[in-house]
Structure 1
Amino acid sequence: MAKLFLVRHGQSQWNLENRFTGWQNIDITALGQLEAQKAGKALAKESIDIAFTSTLIRAQHTLQIILDEIGKPDMPIVINAALNERSYGNLEGLNKDETAVKYGVEQVHIWRRSFDVAPPGGESLKDTYDRVIPYFEHDIKPELEVGKNILIVAHGNSLRALIMYLEHLSPAQILEREIATGDPITYQWDQIIH
């Protein structure tokens, strides 16, 4: 029975600085590296056949640390922008607290936490869902259906979109879901109704 493992990348420099990161290519911090090692230790006894990740260095670096930790540094890796973090558009690089002062706490909350309202020049969670799920169905799901164990290392919102799909959650339910950095989530593929 195939397993699907999801891991959010370790803490990035802009997570630490409380900045909107989105598609900016920011690497992980020393703490992020430790989180990736912890994820690797948690997955060490699992059999993983193939890994998928985004085009962003924080996810790729986290994945490589995990693969080193589990002793499979040469595992096949598929990199695709469909797994990238949600784009925050014009907010990328801005401090979240300063942005709340400038635009108002309520407006920033709507941009960050509504399902279908995008920040200026960016993507809503619905937009992210609309690129993640077709990619999952076309490229990842067939691997699970032939019995391969899959590791996806990606981002808070791309993983949130995938979890919404896998668990049949409503927009309100998924917006309440927090995904910790470096903490693997495991699904038994045969127990997921698709």
Structure 2
Amino acid sequence: MSKRTLFLLRHGEGAWNKENRFCSWVDQKLSEEGVAEARQCGLLLKEQGYRLDVVFASLLRRSIQTAWLLTEAMGDEWVPVVKSWRLNERHYGALIGLNRAELALNHGEEQVKLWRRSYNITPPPIDESHPYFFEIYNDRRYRTCDIPLEELPRAESLKQVLDRLLPFWYDVIVPEIQKGRTVLISGHGNSCRALLKHIEGISDDDIVGVTLPTGVPILLELDSDLKATKPHQLLGDQLQIQEAIKKVEDQGKAKKRN
């Protein structure tokens, strides 16, 4: 049985990751650390002998920048980068721009964990009074989508992320994998978690405990039915990866910002 190789990658650290704010659909660039993470990811894949045939990214620049930087580091700038809003980060609605630790201080760590990690719970929706509403919905990139602008989400649960992601997965990404091509998805924390849940059959309850650090490639080996042949692997220094996971998990703990 032939083996298919798929990589999921949460983009390198973004400016608002560093500030511990819900970034979501606000279009932030990578931080200096994020640029380094993206390049290191490309070098790691090259050192381990992997070659990419096609990369998929969201419409958000931190995802696109990551794709460009890692293919450059691999010496494979020619590899196509295909972009879609369906790979965008989860829409955090009215929480966009807020500091996670301060939110935990005001609403409790458990509530923030539910907003961040649960499968079915949707945060309060964004509306026109929100400071980033028009920055998002007046952006011309969202007039290129395969659905009307007014049908784009105003807030999403992880389940809703998976629902809007799956058509692109089956119609565009899966055919590339079935051709035997090595695919990398330069996505976001929640678009990658949603796909991981789908591919590995992770339960609604267990997905709460899945945390993905920035800039760490996730290797999935799939059979001809696109089922995982073994658990996914986070590639790189395992001690550093565990430290990075803890850092992400600690973002939702109640702590005043300095």
TM-score, normalised by the number of residues in structure 1: 0.95
**1:186 and 2:188 matched:** no
**Is the contact between residue 67 and residue 73 of structure 1 (CA under 8 Å) also seen in structure 2?**
yes
Q: Distance in 1 between matches of 2:218 and 2:170?
A: 19
Q: Distance in 2 between matches of 1:39 and 1:175?
A: 25
Aligned-partner SS, 1:127 = helix
- Aligned pair partner of 1:80 in 76, 81, 84: 84
- Aligned pair partner of 2:18 in 12, 16, 35: 16
| Counterparts of residues 26-175 of structure 1 (less than 5 Å) | 26-44=28-46, 45-121=49-125, 122-175=155-208
Shift in Å, 1:172: 1.2
**Is the contact between residue 144 and residue 189 of structure 1 (CA under 8 Å) also seen in structure 2?**
no
Which amino acid in the other structure matches residue 84 of structure 2? N
Paired residues, number: 194
Q: Distance in 1 between matches of 2:109 and 2:215?
A: 28
Q: Which protein has greater RCO, CA pairs closer than 8 Å, 6+ apart?
A: 1
Q: CA RMSD in A?
A: 1.4
Shift in Å, 1:56: 0.4
Superimposed CA distance per residue, residues 96-138 of structure 1 (whole angstroms, 9 cap, x where no aligned partner): 1222233333322221222111111111111101111221111
Deviates further, 43-52 or 94-103: 94-103
Shift in Å, 1:80: 0.1
Aligned-partner SS, 2:223 = helix
**Is the contact between residue 51 and residue 75 of structure 1 (CA under 8 Å) also seen in structure 2?**
yes
The unaligned stretches of length 5 or more in structure 2 are 126-154, 229-258
**Is the contact between residue 67 and residue 81 of structure 2 (CA under 8 Å) also seen in structure 1?**
no
Aligned-partner SS, 2:205 = helix
Aligned-partner SS, 1:3 = strand
Aligned-partner SS, 1:94 = coil
**Is the contact between residue 6 and residue 184 of structure 2 (CA under 8 Å) also seen in structure 1?**
yes
Superimposed CA distance per residue, residues 156-183 of structure 1 (whole angstroms, 9 cap, x where no aligned partner): 0000000001101101111111112111
Which amino acid in the other structure matches residue 185 of structure 1? I
Residue aligning to 1:3: 5
Shift in Å, 1:41: 1.0
Residue aligning to 2:255: none
User: Could you say which structure has the larger radius of gyration?
Assistant: 2
**Is the contact between residue 133 and residue 161 of structure 1 (CA under 8 Å) also seen in structure 2?**
no
Q: Distance in 1 between matches of 2:109 and 2:93?
A: 18
TM-score, normalised by the number of residues in structure 2: 0.72
Q: Distance in 1 between matches of 2:210 and 2:56?
A: 22
**Is the contact between residue 66 and residue 186 of structure 2 (CA under 8 Å) also seen in structure 1?**
yes
Which amino acid in the other structure matches residue 227 of structure 2? I
Deviates further, 34-43 or 105-114: 105-114
**Is the contact between residue 114 and residue 121 of structure 2 (CA under 8 Å) also seen in structure 1?**
yes
The unaligned stretches of length 5 or more in structure 1 are none
Deviates further, 2-11 or 13-22: 2-11
Aligned-partner SS, 2:44 = helix
Q: Distance in 2 between matches of 1:117 and 1:55?
A: 24
